[in-house]
Amino acid sequence: MTINDIVKETITTMTKKRLPMTPDNYAENFCAIAKEKGFVVEECKSVSRFIQKLNTAIQSDLSKYNVNTQDELLTYLVSSLNRLMGQSEGKQSLVLIALVKRLLQSISLLHNKEAKELAAASLERIEYLADQNTFTLIKEKWMDFLGQYDATPVKKLKAYFDIKSDDFAEIVDQMIEKMQQQDDSTVLEPLAMLIVATLTPSIASSMNDELATLSYELRHSPKILATKEVQDEILLLTKKRVSLDKNEVKERIASLDNLLGNVSSKIVNLIDKSNLSRGQIKDIKDELIALDYTKHSFDTMKEKLVTIANSLEIETDSMVNVMKHDESVVKNLQLKVKKLELALTKAKKETRKDFLTNLISKRGLDEDLNRVDKSYERYGIDYSICFFDIDHFKMLNDTFGHEAGDVVLKQVGALMNQTKRDVDMVGRYGGEEFLAILPNTPLPGALVFAEKIRKEIADFAFLYKGERIAVTVSGGVTNRKDFDSQKVMIEGADALLYQAKEAGRNRVFPADA
């Protein structure tokens, strides 16, 4: 039997007896069951401890009554004091003391740590000594608590969830309702990816660029799936996909038909190239039809057929040899084409990667900038950019050599790559200048990212041939919604970068955002 078992049995017993679920009823039933089960609970002995502190006369009088709870003990003491005092003022004081204790007990049940602790301390003080000094001290403590009470957490919740009520229970209910409404994004995200995956497998490949743009937009902002514009675009892409696939199938069937025609021509050519002409084949056919078995033996017929078969076999072998030679040529051509395709694919990938830093190249960054700006123009998906430039890089090259400069560039690229999020795009914009593209990131968040990059680089120990090199970067950060065009936004970030340089380097601008 554990304390949890006693709690469960207490609740079950009170439910069966239809008792109100009050603290006193619960305590009385809990202690009775714990005593019955032989389970020692210190809280259940509180009444006995209080009685032992009273004088022997009162203890003797108490033994005449069945006093089990604090309320019953309090009632007895109030009654005894009333009898002793015999004055209305004394009675009123005892009632007020009982009221204060009950209020403090109620406060101890509230969901506020400071209030519960102060209520418990006040009750303990009253139990020890209920005089005027005690109540004056308690009053001052509670006045201090009210003066320092901080309702900021509730205000934050109300502002974040747009809650109008001041009641804690209503605030919780409205928060749950708001959170349930926000759960739509968890449904839209996998649905968005499912739609893209459904459209992608196809025969025709001419829509791959359009699908890549739609996939990027849905992946970074699934909620746009609920907009009519995106739904219409998906419907249009679906119809276009079906139409393109139908045309592709027709073209491939036509190509197959041409291929079969070529095969047929090859067979005709085989017959034409054979030693037997069509007339000879027709003569043999006519001769077989008009064959009189009384005049021609089977051996004669067999000899004629074997002659035709041998001629066709010779021509077939010749054609097979030609085909084998052609097949070898075709295979060699296929290998060359495959090598060229692999080289082309590798070249395309390499154009998006900077060989020294393994980051995105200038060309790749331009492509990514165009893609995120299209999403901004069409759906309002905001983004920020951060320009970084290594401070005194020319001096570094002149002092330690260009090889040391390459080491620094490579390490700076590695630090940026390991600091960014999966959705962020970081690349080398040129020379010692780097660019980070941060989708769905407002200016304050972009400044946090830029400051983190700056600090990571400033704190990192750059070593070249055992010698430490001090490296810092300056940065300029802008947000798309603050500018009329992407070009102006990029120029703004570049200008802020040089402001950071002029202000002393190793800093990020704007500094007061």
pLDDT (tens digit, 9 = 90+) per residue, 423-446? 999 999 999 999 999 999 999 999
pLDDT (tens digit, 9 = 90+) per residue, 4-45? 888 788 889 888 888 887 777 777 787 888 878 877 777 777
Please provide the average confidence, as pLDDT, over all residues in the chain: 77
pLDDT (tens digit, 9 = 90+) per residue, 371-385? 999 999 999 999 999
Nearest-angstrom CA–CA distance, 344 and 336: 12
Quote the pLDDT of residue 479: 97
Nearest-angstrom CA–CA distance, 349 and 351: 5
155 has a pLDDT exceeding 70: no
Nearest-angstrom CA–CA distance, 313 and 164: 95
Quote the pLDDT of residue 164: 65
Quote the pLDDT of residue 106: 66
293 has a pLDDT exceeding 70: no
Which among 102, 91, 90 is positioned nearest to 126, based on CA atoms?
A: 102
306 has a pLDDT exceeding 90: no
509 close to 447: Cβ distance less than 8 angstroms: no
Nearest-angstrom CA–CA distance, 392 and 394: 6
311-317 mean pLDDT: 60
227 has a pLDDT exceeding 80: yes
Quote the pLDDT of residue 61: 79
pLDDT (tens digit, 9 = 90+) per residue, 276-287? 455 555 555 555
Q: What is the pTM of this model?
A: 0.38
pLDDT (tens digit, 9 = 90+) per residue, 75-130? 878 777 766 655 545 555 666 777 676 777 667 666 677 778 888 888 888 887 77
- Residue 224 CB-half CA count within 13 A: 20
Name the helix (H) or strand (E) containing 509. Answer: strand 508-509
389 has a pLDDT exceeding 70: yes
Cβ count within 10 A of residue 152: 7
Quote the pLDDT of residue 358: 93
Q: What is the DSSP letter of 238?
A: H
- pLDDT category, 136, cuts 50, 70, 90? confident
416 has a pLDDT exceeding 80: yes
Quote the pLDDT of residue 263: 47
Nearest-angstrom CA–CA distance, 444 and 384: 10
349 has a pLDDT exceeding 60: no
